Amino acid sequence: MSEQAQINVMEQLVSLCKRRGFVYPASEIYGGLNGFWDYGPLGVLLKNNIRDSWWRSMVEVPPIGPDGHPVDMVGLDSAIIQNPKTWVASGHVGGFSDPMVDDRETKQRYRADHLVCAIAKVKRKNGDVQELGFLAVLDGDRAVNDFVKRADKLARKTGGGEIQPPERSELTLFTKLDPERQKQVWGPEATQAGTLTEPRAFNLMFQTYVGAIQDETSKAYLRPETAQGQFLNFKNIVDTTRVKIPFGVAQIGKSFRNEVTPRNFIFRSREFEQMEMEWFCHPDEARKWYDFWKEERMKWWKSLGVRDENLRFRDHDADELSHYSKMTVDIEYKYPFTAPDFGELEGIAHRGCYDLTQHQTHSGQKLDYFDQELQLKLKEQGASADEIKQKSRYIPNVIEPASGLTRAVLVVLCEAYRRDPNRQGSVEYLSIKPQFAPIKCGIFPLVNKEGMPEVSEKLYLDLRKHFTCEHDVKQSIGKRYARMDEIGTPFCVTIDGETMKDQTLTVRERDAMTQERVSLDKIKGYLLERLSAE
Amino acid sequence: MSEQAQINVMEQLVSLCKRRGFVYPASEIYGGLNGFWDYGPLGVLLKNNIRDSWWRSMVEVPPIGPDGHPVDMVGLDSAIIQNPKTWVASGHVGGFSDPMVDDRETKQRYRADHLVCAIAKVKRKNGDVQELGFLAVLDGDRAVNDFVKRADKLARKTGGGEIQPPERSELTLFTKLDPERQKQVWGPEATQAGTLTEPRAFNLMFQTYVGAIQDETSKAYLRPETAQGQFLNFKNIVDTTRVKIPFGVAQIGKSFRNEVTPRNFIFRSREFEQMEMEWFCHPDEARKWYDFWKEERMKWWKSLGVRDENLRFRDHDADELSHYSKMTVDIEYKYPFTAPDFGELEGIAHRGCYDLTQHQTHSGQKLDYFDQELQLKLKEQGASADEIKQKSRYIPNVIEPASGLTRAVLVVLCEAYRRDPNRQGSVEYLSIKPQFAPIKCGIFPLVNKEGMPEVSEKLYLDLRKHFTCEHDVKQSIGKRYARMDEIGTPFCVTIDGETMKDQTLTVRERDAMTQERVSLDKIKGYLLERLSAE
């Protein structure tokens, strides 16, 4: 796909999402609010389907572990606002920040680590090579392109000439420049040099105050991740349920990050929904479980109908690992806005014993684990009493598969989006895997008379008990099919004149647009079978 | 039940919830945070079951309307943080506040409208009647009691005597006193008069800032209700879906209120989850729909297993109606902490056209509705072109059934809590309706050997695909039954020596504690039938 086509896919998808009720800009009647989105009637159904699939794969039917037995897993739903000491211990108060620069001229704000710079050089008509300035552009695949365009514009103002395109490797990160050099840079939209401020750390947590008095003692934060809820409740869960190490705690819920530059539709928003699981295990077994969850998570993404060629693993290099992580692998997806590159989808991190140790230190509560089974095993192996005592009590290690529910919605939509110029009614349709489609079946009387709507309503009342249906009695049948294709409904059934005579109806399939006659008393079984197919 | 017994029920319930993993205080290892709770492994399952039941009754299988046809309903999931103009228009920025007083001596904070006062009088041994002071106590059923206790304590310090209990009607609301009189009051825990501050309005919305700059332009709020999301998206939903008036928009999600005095466990917390539906209809039909939803909502609460005698309607008097409401009825529940009185559970409000009108005025966007069907009907009735034009475009009225998901969790728990001194293992159990029980079936091998755990694990792997199960191989069978009773698991099946011979197992029912032998190949059908029973 060409670059332009990729950009268009996102524009078309965002437009379809708005037009058909998947995703609206939040408070749109008031001009919106940057980085916030509302999930409309179809978006919430799609999101719930993905949510339920993750929950089922984690909590209701967790996988079979490496030893052939099902793994232990429980769910959790912890508060968005926690005691603020939580975020001191987790490192978020001190360290969860992005470097930010403001342009004093244009009032634009940039992530300092998203700006790349180089000296622009122009070859004048007389052969002289002149420097035009130290220009900054936004990092990304189009950075060199953007740089040349910008330099060209500057050159034309001063007599023209030919721009010498820099090598990609010649573009330097703004944050890598020394402060004196930073002062000479032209901001991406500035008309002069030296208008960018020095980068300053900007904490991404939203702040608020709990209680009537607003001071340091009442300051609190909206959680930037759900995971700390699992760590805070580790001891409670060990003490009040029957789980034993190794076990997992899974949670789905909203998180908030005051992103400097929210972007790419619902890919990076300020309010979003996460699905995070913390897997507590013995330190010696952490690597085994890391590999296990890495594979399990990839399987899950494929089960959403995401094609193999659009997914890949990418191990983090040592220098990009978070301070708490021993190793991390990302599952990446080829988004329309990153293609042919891939972008972040889910991280599976080996967090070691960092979190529990931090919370133990900061809270003064013991968060170690007494491993009765290990104790027994060591006894059987004839270990000394001292060794048994020392080894059977430990702070567990944690493997964390962390993904975004709202990001999963985006991936399913990107993956399903299709254009077919030969389709009637609409050239667009969503080929969503039936299991995740917001509406499973459209039910239509061919015309809104002659007894047909009575039959179709009766069928609707029966089928909706088993799966989501929409009963639509108006518009031409072509328009109704086209709308269902656009919202990804895998099946439509139509009651027509024939139905009134022989009790059969038409079933139409979304992708192939094939039509079949099925008898009224068999249609439920017919659809249930196809909707549950893998 | 005696007053003491009622208090104990709450204490016992809170303790059970903590001990068995239903509800933990949020960030407990850091001393908690007043008004915030985490839902543990069982709490989140119970909450999800109630959530899904509400969603099903509203969005997936909405009820049959008064005309015999199913009503139109769609779902929504709007952002917690919206453009702040939303809350100006809704009236929350100006008016969503509680009157609050501080006690300068004790540093306690009270809702001014929750304090009642009277002059304490003591009859001394010599027959003299003396005034001890103007004492305040917390309002409620125990107010007179508390007042007498407090006065008695004061009297004893000054020579003793007999306290004359005031009539309930003699207790005056603190907020009804004139300012001079307020200065003479003894706060509920103060050791002297005059330490309470004047009441001041305290806005209940949590504030935060969106973006890097913290000033008036970036101030935003955490939503105090989900309902405004429906109003903000009214036009989007009409434009992008096939719904026509009358129709509803249903939403489940978190809301936040910075309560002055969070209390009664999860009844009034600062972070909570709501289930709100906004029903848009023609003004002339609003009353009909108000009555309709009132009955539907009561049916739903009963479907949770709540007993008739613990539920009632209470119409709001004219003077307690919110400024936007034409009429409101509460569904009330007899909580252990209100009994024999009832307390608020769900409000069904006739909001008129208040919200859409406000948002139309503040946003400048047209939020009226063009009613094509009404236009047609008027035409058929021979109305004039002017009349048709005027009548078929209007701002819809709204009927709103608004309830709390987290409050529903509390009600189901209160309703299910039982004590039976004759039960073995534990005197407590939760008689939760099977449909809502967090775990539907415990699966146990009688002993963890002799081939039994292999059989039970195989059964577990099959049954968990159909409903939530727990496989527990250790502890005495009595302890395992007792734990399942305490968490409300309706059925337990046990694999024992007999099973290995004749392929039958024991099914134990929670409430009656009856045991039955069922063959291994019939157990799935046996349980599925009982779990789906109404």
Q: Which residues contact B35 (CB under 8 A, 6 or more apart)?
A: A210, B259, B262, B268, B269, B270, B271
pTM: 0.90
Measured over the CA atoms of residue B43, residue B45, residue B48 and residue B53, the dihedral's sign is negative
Q: Quote the Cα angle for B30-B31-B33, to 5°.
A: 95
The pLDDT score that the predictor gives to residue B91 is: 92
The pLDDT score that the predictor gives to residue A6 is: 60
Judge whether B208 is closer than 8 Å to chain A, CB to CB.
Answer: yes
CA–CA separation, A413 and A79 (whole Å):
29
Report the chain A residue with the minimal C-alpha distance to residue B356: A29
Residue pair A313/A331 in contact (Cβ under 8 Å)? The answer is yes
Q: Is A244 inside a domain boundary?
A: yes
Contact B33 A470 (CB under 8 A): no
Nearest CB partner across the interface for B83, out of A33, A74, A211: A33
Query: Does one domain contain both A31 and A63?
Result: yes
Give the residue-averaged pLDDT of B245-261: 96
Q: Which of B466, B409, B477 is CA-nearest to residue B443?
A: B477
Give the residue-averaged pLDDT of B504-510: 97
Q: Quote the Cα angle for A193-A194-A199, to 5°.
A: 130
In SS3 terms, B445-499 reads as: ECCCCCCHHHHHHHHHHHHCCCCCEEECCCCCHHHHHHHHHHCCCCEEEEECHHH
| Cβ-count burial A79-95 (b if 16+ within 10 Å, e if not) | bbbbbbbbbebbebbee
Residue pair B365/A29 in contact (Cβ under 8 Å)? The answer is yes
Give the residue-averaged pLDDT of B71-76: 98
Q: Which residues contact A110 (CB under 8 A, 6 or more apart)?
A: A100, A101, A102, A103, A138, A187, A188, A196, A260, A261
Q: Which two tokens stand for residue B38?
A: 């985490």
In chain A, residues 474-493 whose CB comes closer than 8 Å to chain B: 483
CA–CA separation, B20 and A242 (whole Å):
10
Report the chain A residue with the minimal C-alpha distance to residue B239: A19
Given pLDDT bands bounded at 50, 70 and 90, which one contains residue B2?
Answer: low
Taking each helix axis from N to C end, the angle separating B3-19 and B405-416, rounded to the nearest 10 degrees, works out to 110
Contact A260 B39 (CB under 8 A): no
Amino acid at the residue A310: N
Amino acid at the residue A384: S
Q: Which two tokens stand for residue B257?
A: 């209120």
Per-residue pLDDT at B1 exceeds 60: no
Which DSSP symbol is given to B268?
B
How are the residues of chain B apportioned to helix, strand and coil, as percentages rounded to the nearest 5?
A: 35, 30, 35
Judge whether B60 is closer than 8 Å to chain A, CB to CB.
Answer: yes
Q: Is A51 inside a domain boundary?
A: yes
pLDDT tens digits, one per residue of A44-94: 999 999 999 999 999 999 999 999 999 999 999 999 999 999 999 999 998
Judge whether B43 is closer than 8 Å to chain A, CB to CB.
Answer: yes
Residue pair B284/B409 in contact (Cβ under 8 Å)? The answer is no
In SS3 terms, B354-412 reads as: HHHHHHHHHHCCCCCEECHHHHHHHHHCCCCHHHHHHHCEECCEEEEEEEEHHHHHHHH
Give the residue-averaged pLDDT of B12-19: 97
C-alpha neighbours within 13 Å on the C-beta side of residue B413: 33
pLDDT tens digits, one per residue of A19-53: 999 999 999 999 999 999 999 999 999 999 999 99
Q: Is B275 inside a domain boundary?
A: yes
Tell me the DSSP string of B310-346.
GEEEEEPPGGGS-TT-SEEEEEEE--TTTTTS-EEEE
Query: Does one domain contain both A156 and A103?
Result: yes
Given pLDDT bands bounded at 50, 70 and 90, which one contains residue B4?
Answer: low
The pLDDT score that the predictor gives to residue A260 is: 86
Full residue range of the structural domain in which residue A60 is found = 3-80+223-353+397-414
Residue pair B446/B494 in contact (Cβ under 8 Å)? The answer is yes
Rg (CA), chain A: 28
Bridge-based pairing state of the strands B271-281 and B247-256: antiparallel
Judge whether B133 is closer than 8 Å to chain A, CB to CB.
Answer: no
Contact A26 B83 (CB under 8 A): yes
Query: Does one domain contain both B36 and B103?
Result: no
Q: Which helix (H) or strand (E) holds B72?
A: strand B72-76
The pLDDT score that the predictor gives to residue A1 is: 52
Per-residue pLDDT at B324 exceeds 80: no
Residue pair A231/A225 in contact (Cβ under 8 Å)? The answer is no
Per-residue CA distances from A101 to A32, A261, B335 (Å): 24, 12, 55
Residue pair B25/B43 in contact (Cβ under 8 Å)? The answer is no
Rg (CA), chain B: 28
In chain B, residues 261-300 whose CB comes closer than 8 Å to chain A: 270-271
Query: Does one domain contain both B20 and B46?
Result: yes
Judge whether B444 is closer than 8 Å to chain A, CB to CB.
Answer: no
Query: What residues in B contact A77, CB-CB < 8 Å?
Result: 38-39, 43-44, 47
Contact A232 B206 (CB under 8 A): no
Query: Does one domain contain both B103 and B71?
Result: no
Q: Which of B14, B19, B27 should one mutate to test binding to chain A, selecting the residue with the greatest count of A CBs within 10 A?
A: B27
Structure-token match 């068999």, residue found? A522
Residue B87, SS3? helix
The pLDDT score that the predictor gives to residue A38 is: 98
Q: Is A419 inside a domain boundary?
A: no
Least Cα separation, residue A310 to chain B (angstroms): 28
Q: Which two tokens stand for residue A431?
A: 């080929």
Which DSSP symbol is given to B440?
S
CA–CA separation, A406 and A404 (whole Å):
5
pLDDT tens digits, one per residue of B517-530: 999 999 999 999 99
Structure-token match 């990446």, residue found? A332
Residue A160, SS3? coil
Amino acid at the residue B485: D
The pLDDT score that the predictor gives to residue A99 is: 87
Q: Which of B359, B394, B362 is CA-nearest to residue B375?
A: B394
Residue pair B176/B156 in contact (Cβ under 8 Å)? The answer is no
Q: What's the structural domain count of chain B?
A: 4
Q: Is B93 inside a domain boundary?
A: no
Give the residue-averaged pLDDT of B33-42: 98
CA–CA separation, A373 and A244 (whole Å):
9
Residue pair B89/A493 in contact (Cβ under 8 Å)? The answer is no
Bridge-based pairing state of the strands B72-76 and B247-256: parallel
Q: Which residues contact B428 (CB under 8 A, 6 or more apart)?
A: B12, B16, B417, B418, B419, B485, B486
Nearest CB partner across the interface for A240, out of B20, B45, B271: B20
Q: Is B305 inside a domain boundary?
A: yes
Judge whether A365 is closer than 8 Å to chain B, CB to CB.
Answer: yes
Query: Does one domain contain both B383 and B409?
Result: no
CA–CA separation, B46 and A236 (whole Å):
18
Query: Does one domain contain both A409 and A287?
Result: yes
Query: Does one domain contain both B368 and B338?
Result: no
Query: What residues in B contact A471, CB-CB < 8 Å?
Result: 70
Query: Does one domain contain both B474 and B515?
Result: yes
Q: Which of B280, B287, B288 is CA-nearest to residue B249?
A: B280
Query: Does one domain contain both B407 and B260?
Result: yes
Nearest CB partner across the interface for B240, out of A20, A211, A212: A20
Q: Is A214 inside a domain boundary?
A: no
pLDDT tens digits, one per residue of B420-440: 998 888 999 999 999 999 999
CA–CA separation, A304 and B363 (whole Å):
39
Could you tell me the mean pLDDT of each successive run of 10 residues in chain A, 534 residues long?
A: 67 96 98 97 98 98 97 98 96 87 89 92 91 92 91 90 90 92 93 91 93 86 98 98 97 96 94 98 97 98 97 91 86 95 96 97 97 95 94 97 98 96 91 98 96 97 97 95 97 96 97 96 97 84
CA–CA separation, B212 and B204 (whole Å):
24
Query: What residues in B contact A100, CB-CB < 8 Å?
Result: 212
Contact B27 A83 (CB under 8 A): yes
Judge whether A51 is closer than 8 Å to chain B, CB to CB.
Answer: no
The pLDDT score that the predictor gives to residue B8 is: 87
Q: Is B244 inside a domain boundary?
A: yes
Contact B38 A233 (CB under 8 A): yes
Long-range contacts of A364-373 (CB under 8 A, 24+ apart): A365/A235, A365/B29, A366/A235, A367/A234, A367/A235, A367/A395, A367/B29, A368/A393, A368/A394, A368/A395, A369/A238, A369/A245, A369/A280, A369/A393, A369/A394, A369/A395, A369/A396, A371/A244, A371/A245, A371/A282, A372/A244, A373/A244
Per-residue CA distances from A197 to A96, A112, A185 (Å): 21, 10, 10
Nearest CB partner across the interface for B30, out of A28, A363, A468: A363
pLDDT tens digits, one per residue of B74-124: 999 999 999 999 999 999 998 888 888 999 998 888 889 999 999 999 999
Q: Which two tokens stand for residue B55?
A: 């969603």
Residue pair B32/B18 in contact (Cβ under 8 Å)? The answer is no
Contact A45 B80 (CB under 8 A): no
Q: Which residues contact A292 (CB under 8 A, 6 or more apart)?
A: A65, A66
The pLDDT score that the predictor gives to residue A321 is: 80
In SS3 terms, A36-105 reads as: CEEECHHHHHHHHHHHHHHHHHHHHCCCECCCCCECEEEEEECCCECCCHHHHHCCHHHHCEEEEEEECC
Query: Does one domain contain both A346 and A250?
Result: yes
Q: Quote the Cα angle for A328-A331-A332, to 5°.
A: 125
Query: Does one domain contain both A302 and A248?
Result: yes
Q: Which of A481, A468, A473, A471 is CA-nearest to residue B71?
A: A471
Least Cα separation, residue B56 to chain A (angstroms): 9
Report the chain B residue with the minimal C-alpha distance to residue A59: B468
Judge whether A318 is closer than 8 Å to chain B, CB to CB.
Answer: no
Residue pair B300/B57 in contact (Cβ under 8 Å)? The answer is yes
Per-residue CA distances from A245 to A46, A55, A56, A341, A474 (Å): 34, 20, 21, 39, 58
- Number of Cβ within 10 Å of residue B141's Cβ equals 15
Nearest CB partner across the interface for A37, out of B21, B24, B79: B79
The pLDDT score that the predictor gives to residue B3 is: 53
